[in-house]
Amino acid sequence: MNRTILAPLAAAAALFGAGTAHASLPVGAKAPAFVTKGAKRGKVMAFDLKQALRRGPVVLYFYPKAFTQGCTLEAHAFAEASDDFAKAGATVVGMSADDLPTLQKFSTEACRDKFAVAVATPGIIKDYDVALKREGAPAGMTDRTSYVIARDGRITLVHSELDYRDHVKLTLEAVNKLKK
C-alpha cells in the first residue's frame, strides 16, 4: 500500500482503537450542572442534569460520534440494559458533539427509543474533560467516558476507555450499588 492510503487508516485506528484515556473529574467530585438539547424517540427535548438527579442517579456516557461502529454498538448495549437501569432508578443519557438532527435519528435507530442522547456543547466537553485527545481526531469530538452521578450530584464512577464493551456493565454495577 502507498502512504496516501496508510495515513488515513492510521488516523482512523488512532481515533477509534482501544486505549485508556483519563478523565479529570475524580470519583467524589461534584458533577458540573448543565442544560442542553437532546432527543429521545426522535423528538427534541431539553436535558437538565439537576432535574434528572431529582429522579435518581444519572449515567452520563460520552461517545465520540453517532453512527460509528463502536458508538452504535455501545448504544445498542445501553438500550438492551435500559430495563435494568430503570429498575435501579437511573436515567441514562448519551452525550456527543453531534448536531441535533443526527442525535434525533441516532436516538431512534441506535438507541432504539430507550434513552435520550444529548448535545455535548464545548462547555460541557470542557467541564467534564472529555475532549478526544487522539492524533488525527477532529476538534470537538468527545472521548468515550462514562460517569455515574448520584442523586446528591457527586460522581461515584468514572470509566474512560475507548473500547465500548465495559461501559454498560460497569455503570450498571455502580448504579446498583447506589440502590443498596
Q: Which CATH number belongs to the domain containing residue 169 in this structure? A: 3.40.30.10
Count how many domains the chain has.
1
pLDDT averaged over the chain? 88
Catalytic option among 71, 125, 150, 158: 71
The predicted model gives 145-163 an average pLDDT of 96
Which pLDDT value is given to residue 10? 37
Q: Tell me the C-alpha distance between 32 and 29, whole Å.
A: 9
CA gap 119, 114 in Å, rounded: 17
pLDDT above 70 for 116: yes
Confidence bin at 19 (pLDDT 50/70/90): very low
| Catalytic status, residue 111 | no
pTM of the model: 0.85
Domain boundaries, position 78: 3-179
pLDDT number for residue 1:
42
